[in-house]
Amino acid sequence: MIGTFKKIIETAENEGDRKRVVVPWASRKNMQILSKASERNFIMPLFVGKGREIEMLVKSTPLASLNHEIIDEKDSGRAIYKAIQIIKENQADILMQGNVPHQMFIDSILDREKGLLRNKLASFVSVFQLLKRDKLILVTDTYINSFPTLAEKQLILENALGLVRIFEVDSPKVAALASIEQVNPSIPSTLDASILSKMSQRMQFGDVIVEGPLDIDCALDKDAALRKGVNSIVTGNVDIYLVPDIEVGYPLAQLLVFIGKMQMAGMLMGTSNPIILDLPFVSNENKVVEIALAALICERGKGS
For the chain, give the number of residues.
304
Residue 173 pairs in a beta bridge with 209
Q: Which amino acid does the sequence have at 201?
A: Q
Burial (CB count within 10 angstroms: exposed 0-12, middle 13-18, buried 19+), residue 132: exposed
What architecture is the 123-258 domain classified under in CATH? 3-Layer(aba) Sandwich (3.40)
DSSP-assigned states of every residue in 50-114: -HHHHHHHHHTSGGGGS--EEEE---HHHHHHHHHHHHHTTS-SEEE--SS-HHHHHHHHH-TTT
- For residue 303, the model assigns a pLDDT of 42
Q: Which amino acid does the sequence have at 16?
A: G
Q: Where in the chain is the domain with CATH 3.40.50.10950?
A: 5-120+267-301
Helix (H) or strand (E) run with residue 130 in it: none
Cα Rg for the chain, rounded, in angstroms?
Answer: 20
Query: Chain centroid to CA 186: how far?
Result: 32
Q: Look at strands 19-24 and 43-49 and give their pairing.
A: parallel
The band of 304, judged by pLDDT with boundaries at 50, 70 and 90, is very low
Nearest to 128 by CA among 120, 139, 119, 117: 139
Nearest to 264 by CA among 163, 89, 127, 84: 127
Q: Cβ distance 277 to 304 under 8 Å?
A: no
pLDDT in tens, 90-118: 999 999 999 999 999 999 999 999 999 99
- For residue 64, the model assigns a pLDDT of 87
Q: Cβ distance 277 to 123 under 8 Å?
A: no
Phi, psi of 127 (to 5 degrees): -115, 125
pLDDT in tens, 4-55: 999 999 999 998 889 999 999 988 899 999 999 999 989 999 999 999 999 9
pTM for the whole thing? 0.94
Q: Where in the chain is the domain with CATH 3.40.718.10?
A: 123-258
- For residue 258, the model assigns a pLDDT of 95
3-state class of 228 per DSSP? coil
Question: For domain 5-120+267-301, which CATH number applies: 3.40.50.720, 3.40.1640.10, 3.40.50.20, 3.40.50.10950?
Answer: 3.40.50.10950
pLDDT in tens, 153-203: 999 999 999 999 999 999 999 999 999 999 999 999 999 999 999 999 999
Helix (H) or strand (E) run with residue 268 in it: strand 263-269
d(CA 296, CA 38): 15
d(CA 20, CA 44): 5
Q: Cβ distance 119 to 92 under 8 Å?
A: no
CA-to-CA separations, 59 to 34, 53, 285, in angstroms, rounded: 13, 10, 21
Q: Note if the bond before 75 is cis, omega within 30 degrees.
A: no
Nearest to 207 by CA among 179, 239, 181: 239
d(CA 301, CA 304): 5
